[in-house]
Amino acid sequence: MRVLAALSGGVDSAVAAARAVDAGHDVVGVHMALSRNRDEFRTGSRGCCSIEDAGDARRAADVLGIPYYVWDLSDRFEETVVADFLSEYAAGRTPNPCVRCNEHIKFEALLDKGVALGFDAVCTGHYARIETGAQVDGSSTAGPGEVRGGVRRELHRANDSAKDQSYVLAVMGPDRLARAMFPLGEAPSKDEVRAEAAARGLGVSDKPDSYDICFVADGDTQGFLRERLGTRPGDVVDTEGTVVGAHDGAYAYTVGQRKGLALGRPAPDGRPRYVLDVRPATNTVVVGAAELLTVTALQADRAVWFVPVVSSDEGWFGCSVQVRAHGTPVPAHARAVSGAQGPTSGVEVRLDEGLRGVAPGQSVVLYDGTRVLGQATLTASSR
């Protein structure tokens, strides 16, 4: 196959590309330039896609002996991922920019451009597994999640649970999964991936992992939001509506937050208070006791399904639910319902045990064991 290997400049993508070469594929490396600031440099292990990362990606391609290109996707990144990040926070929600990057950049812009150029698949350094499921009808026309020949492809958790990235990949959907490759899904640990990189002579073997938000390289998310959205002073209130503090922008707060509230009036019982709700319409932040954060029901929209579902009042099925990239999955029952995008684009979830600090805008991923069943964006929760 002709494979387009996304080279971020890190160890994972370099080893993934190397394994694609070893498998006999015709591999071409591409680095996505996502920053509009061409002079942006990496700050330690914060951020990614910097000028240093582009150089590291080029050197990895040289070691592997594959062609290498840089694609400028900075405008697309700004118009989709960054714009979504800002609008979601401005609306009082808590987005995950890695989910949107996988949706709009890596498995939309990159994959679509690659397919247009004649590539069969995109290879990335994500930690997730692709398994083949049961045979379907064997027809020559592939359906959702299928490849020609009638084999259904399934997205599963990685073998290394500490590095598993199926949560942020679930938004890609079955059609794009059919053209994806994740060679590191079977890797037992990141240490072994680093050891493999060193053995192959890849200079990124000891490069630190990137973390935080790539376009907020200094880690100051509130400062980034304040710069882009401006100062919007308002009140912090308790559950009775009593003003207990002030803020410079409700967008800087998220459900479950405790630190940085700077409340002027302590709670009558002296207990710490947490953000319970962000209300952009009134520009207020609501705080209260920790137990008020626990929810047992979720509503979500913009669903992406990897399995056939129907919208039904009786269509509840057992699953586990994860609401954070490295959160603990909890047992639940869910069903597809009608949503803004169609008959099965909504999801209702009943949690078998409570979850704390769940915020609108988060990605809700449904699993059956290690297999991803579907993904949706949280719109509301209740106790």
**What is the model's pLDDT at position 208?**
84
**What is the model's pLDDT at position 266?**
78
Using a 10 angstrom Cβ sphere, with 0-12 exposed, 13-18 middle and 19 or more buried, the burial of residue 179 is buried
Calculate mean pLDDT across residues 240-249.
93
pLDDT at 155 over 80: yes
* Positive/negative CA dihedral, 369, 372, 376, 377: positive
Q: Are 180 and 130 in contact (CB under 8 A)?
A: yes
**What is the model's pLDDT at position 37?**
64
**What is the model's pLDDT at position 270?**
85
**What is the model's pLDDT at position 45?**
45
pLDDT at 148 over 50: no
Instruction: Give the DSSP H or E segment for 229.
Output: helix 221-229
More confident residue, 248 or 49: 248
**What is the model's pLDDT at position 171?**
96
Using a 10 angstrom Cβ sphere, with 0-12 exposed, 13-18 middle and 19 or more buried, the burial of residue 188 is exposed
Calculate mean pLDDT across residues 320-343.
93
Mean pLDDT across the chain: 89
- The model's confidence at residue 35, banded by pLDDT at 50, 70 and 90, is confident
> What pLDDT, in 10s, does the model give residues 169-191?
999 999 999 999 999 999 999 99
Q: Which residues are marked as active site?
A: 101, 214
pLDDT at 7 over 70: yes
**What is the model's pLDDT at position 211?**
66
**What is the model's pLDDT at position 146?**
40
pLDDT at 12 over 90: yes
pLDDT at 51 over 80: no
pLDDT at 141 over 50: no
**What is the model's pLDDT at position 381?**
95
pLDDT at 219 over 90: no
DSSP string, 60-129: HHHHHT--EEEEE-HHHHIIIIIHHHHHHHHTT----HHHHHIIIIIIIIHHHHHHHTT-SEEE----EE
**What is the model's pLDDT at position 334?**
96
> What pLDDT, in 10s, does the model give residues 364-383?
999 999 999 999 999 999 98
Residue with tokens 């990362």: 53
* Positive/negative CA dihedral, 270, 275, 279, 280: positive
- The β-bridge partners of 3 are 27, 121
User: Would you give the end-to-end CA distance of the chain in angstroms?
Assistant: 50
Calculate mean pLDDT across residues 193-213.
89
Dmax (CA) of the chain: 69
More confident residue, 279 or 35: 279
pLDDT at 349 over 70: yes
% of the chain residues with pLDDT over 70:
91
The two structure tokens encoding residue 214: 């790539």
- The model's confidence at residue 150, banded by pLDDT at 50, 70 and 90, is low
- The model's confidence at residue 262, banded by pLDDT at 50, 70 and 90, is confident
What is the set of domains in the chain, with CATH numbers? 2-199 (3.40.50.620), 231-288 (2.30.30), 294-382 (2.40.30.10)
pLDDT at 142 over 50: no
Nearest to 89 by CA among 233, 280, 302, 293: 280
Q: Are 267 and 288 in contact (CB under 8 A)?
A: no
Q: Regarding beta strands 342-356 and 330-339, do their DSSP bridges make them parallel or antiparallel, or are they unpaired?
A: antiparallel
**What is the model's pLDDT at position 157?**
98
- The model's confidence at residue 143, banded by pLDDT at 50, 70 and 90, is very low
Least trusted range by pLDDT, from 30-44, 109-123, 209-223: 30-44
> What pLDDT, in 10s, does the model give residues 279-324?
999 999 999 999 999 999 999 999 999 999 987 777 899 999 999 9
pLDDT at 149 over 50: no
Calculate mean pLDDT across residues 60-74.
95
